[in-house]
Chain A
Amino acid sequence: MGANEICSFAGFYKTPPVPFAPISCPAAEPDAESIEEMVEMEPVDRSAPLIRAWRRIWSELKSAPVTRWIWVAVLMTWVTTRFIDPPWMAVYPEDWVLPFKDLLNRLMDWLINDLSFGVFTFKEMTRSVAWLLEWPMTWALGIFATGVDIATGGGQMLHIPHLPWIAVVGVAAILGHAGKGWNLALLAGSAFLYLAVFGQWESAMMTLAAILISVAIGALVGLAIGIVTAGSRRIEAWVLPLLDLMQTVPVFAYLIPILFLFGFGPVSAMIATIIYATPPMVRCTMLGLRATPPEIIESGQMIGCTRRQLLWKVKIPAAMSELMVGLNQVIMLSLNMVIIASMIGAGGLGYDVLAALRRLKIGAGLESGIAIVVMAIALDRLSQAFACKAPVNLRDATFLKRHAHSLLAVAVILGGYALGMIFPVLMNYPETWEVTTGPFWDGMIKFININCYDQLEWIRSGLLLTLLMPFKRFLIGLPWLGVIMALGLVAYRLKGFKLAGLVVALAGFIAVTGFWEKAMITVYLCGIGVMLSTVIGLIIGVWAAKSNSMSRVINIILDTLQTLPSFVYLMPVVMLFRVGDVSALIAIVAYAVVPAIRYTVHGILNVPATVREAAVVSGCTPYQTFWKVELPLALPDIMLGINQTVMLALSMVVITALVGTRDLGQEVYIALTRADNGLGLTAGLGVAFIATITDRLIQAWTESRRSHLGAA
């Protein structure tokens, strides 16, 4: 193939004359088109000129690329605002708002107060679930943080103290060594040592206990659901949309119902964490079980496994690496929830951060935040190490060698207790040895704020005046009906009526529940956040794809960024830019930029070498190669990255409500403080629906683009 062709070939994609996705688009059928042409060419068309003009436009449009459709849609909405001006079209009238949230509130009331299964009520049921879950929680807390009281005979209480810090550090190091050798042992050990030295031990252990129990329950529940779902397409059709919803509805939205049903306390926090963290386990389980090579299953059947043996001895062990990936995800998401969970009663590091934030004690908050990060990194690396670990050939191993790690761990725990009895400093890390960095951070912030105030203020107001405000005003000014119609049109063009119907219904829900303006503010914050993330992501991603050493550095940074709980982003930003949209924006970008970079790198590295070589041979400059060949071919991947970016940005938007944005997230947050179930859930669904609309549209676009490029 001539390389010249490739350059022009790629250029051709800039203005593709071929219609997209002919499958679901009836207009693309040949006979339908020829009829259109006949209509157009017919010399005596007696219909009114307006209709004739419309037909012309319509037939043009049908074959136009999506980008042109979007422009037309924007134009239409603009025209409706300027010239056709019934006010209800522009701003959704308040009397039309459906009392959806009241309905939800009444449903909640009924659930809590009236629903009864005869012997017991619904509320009694949920409370007893809470009571049941409290058991393992209390035990874990006792072991790690508070110590365990055991009743011995004669009304005596035996108090067993919590694990000595030295033992925990030791066990972490042993786990690290078992997982991946000395390097990881050093990392895990020093991470926990850090927690002790920097005075976060007690809170950290409370958090660790809560995380361990949530992860254990979440992973087991996820595994069970995954097993059931993998076995039946019918159940899958129910479970998958539910998982989607669980992952897109912001956590805040279901905090309130959980509070109502389970009460304030660590157990409620744990339930919220489990709801948030379980979906990836379900997905990974399904994936792993479905991906078992058929021959392995058949060999199990031929050996005469019963169904249960087939599941436990063949399928699940064969899917172990996927299950471990799922477990890693559960751990990371649970850690992500630490701060939010403390809003409904979890103690520990999350509570410290929240309390510090509320009192604007930046230094202290940052210290606890960093402690969460340190723990997250340690747990992430540990679980990843076990996920990637292949079974080892222990040919001549003795019992002692085979169980070296577990034996050593037991020895360290017992030894820790023994030594702790003799030297109390090994039991509880003495306060006098602690180092605090709080004042340092406070000082640094103060220094920056004093010395760079003008520059920071200049950035802040510059962003606000030139970018944020105009865009916000523009979005809020858009007529709701026009936007819904435009979305519907684009969806129709991409994938036909079904998608259009879904999109219109979801967007319509936001309008009729009266959240249109707030939703637009969410869209505005997210939109700008995504745009900035995409630009930054493209630049950095391209840079990383082109240079090996760069990509290594960037990978480490990305790994760290991804393990940070989203709250941590807020702190330094708020310190420098105070509360408001700019802080929110920066936090959003910092959190959401990761997938934009990752997918850009992936997409560009995946451009077939032959295509790139052909471009170079035909004389494309590096600049041309990039713009005309690599970028167009990598675009579907980049779009997927942007899709992820949108999802992350939306989940961050809700959190930024804490720093004073006025969007859907704020509604959810207000609902939380007022304990208004209906408000919280409705606004939460609104956020979820924005996410769903974006997700489906981008996916549809990517699909049609992919099939256009001839990829699978």
Chain B
Amino acid sequence: MSVISLVSYEDALASYDPVMGLEVHVELGTRTKMFCGCSTELGAEPNTQTCPTCLGLPGSLPVVNRIGVESAIRIGLALNCEIAEWCRFARKNYFYPDMPKNFQTSQYDEPIAFNGYLDVQLEDGEVFRVEIERAHMEEDTGKSTHVGGATGRIHGAEYSLLDYNRAGIPLIEIVTKPIVGAGARAPEVAKAYVTELRELIRTLGVSEARMDKGQMRCDVNLSLRPIGREKFGTRSETKNVNSLRSVERAARFEIQRHATVLADGGTIVQETRHFHEDNGTTTSGRIKEEAEDYRYFPEPDLVPIAPSREWVEELRAALPELPRVRRARLQAEWGLSDKDMQAVLNAGAVEPILETVAAGAPADQARKWWLGELARRANETGTELADQPITPAQVARVCALVAEGKLNDKLARQVIEGVLAGEGEPDEVVEKRGLAVVSDDSALGAAVDQAIADNPDVAAKIRDGKVQAVGALVGAVMKATRGQADAARVKDLILERLGA
């Protein structure tokens, strides 16, 4: 692909209004597959978790996993959707070697959940409502690995390996309505939406929703329309964008790319595109000459799903506290301003703080460490806060040592450093580095006497009643003890000796 210079993001947004659609696939964490009893455990030897049904052997039939349906309903309810009183599975027909039956059992015009919304909070605290079109149930495909050839794609490969362990794992596909009105913030909305959705899915306990493990996959559909125009432009579909940051980057790149094509008088072709993590660009995948004809029809091997209203209400009543409600509660409990709470959220510090508090630390102390020292480090190393090599329990222990007076702030920071460097538990670091606060009078006495002797004029001032001058002597003692002295005790000793 020749390198073309892109229209700047600002220029793109000056002329065009982005319209976005997000399709998120979530692999459910059910113990068994959607239509058979095979295990869903990841990482098994290829093709060991299969049976006639998920291999699509002649004669095999599907049976619906009730937990899969239940999870779909709970996701629908959490997304403020209506739950269908009656719906069916449908066959989506297309040939692909990783799909054993050459049709995917999915849902078409009768999804289990529809017409919902998800409120997402942007970095400045503004709330944006993303409308949900539908959430439907389907099955995952197998996995193909293309060996040989340059790209790892099927084209040019010498041969391909097929693993059907993933075939038939339950998926929920969540589709937004067109997201309009986000303007320049569209990429940010996309990221915030996927982040919020991920948290929601995790809160519901229906999936770990790890994007790096493919448990949550996002397609970003994007089009531009000239500002002021009603009609949507032609969209591109960027498939399998697999990190939160990439979702934002992909949307941003596509806005610029579309604007560039349009500015040159070109037309956007409806196509699928691949996102490249390394340089943040997308390249053309398959061009859709016309909409692919999947020849959907109701799945005759399954009976319709008609969740009773009693069941739906039972599930609704049993929903856990949802992320937005929980955040509001925590903000109140922690007594934080909107701005402070937003800082906690942006740093991804909610869970670490909660766990640190659960391990016995006061909330303000926990927040201070996670948002200060540790957030700074995460930032520097470009890692997630939760992935720092220190546990909430260890942070809580440091807080406890400070509260007991065994560490002061400066020493505590060194202890944290030691833990992060892999030197062991906080108490071990204290011992190995010899960091305990010295408050033993006999040990401090010599240093105090030395400081008085070294600073006779300051000592004289204090004797004369200028007690505030004591700071200079305390400083001298702290310096001499490399910060390990208990400053309060040092002050008391000096004043005692000088009879002030």
B is a partner of A: no
Q: Which residues of B are at the interface with A, using a C-beta cutoff of 8 A?
A: none
Q: Which residues of A are at the interface with B, using a C-beta cutoff of 8 A?
A: none
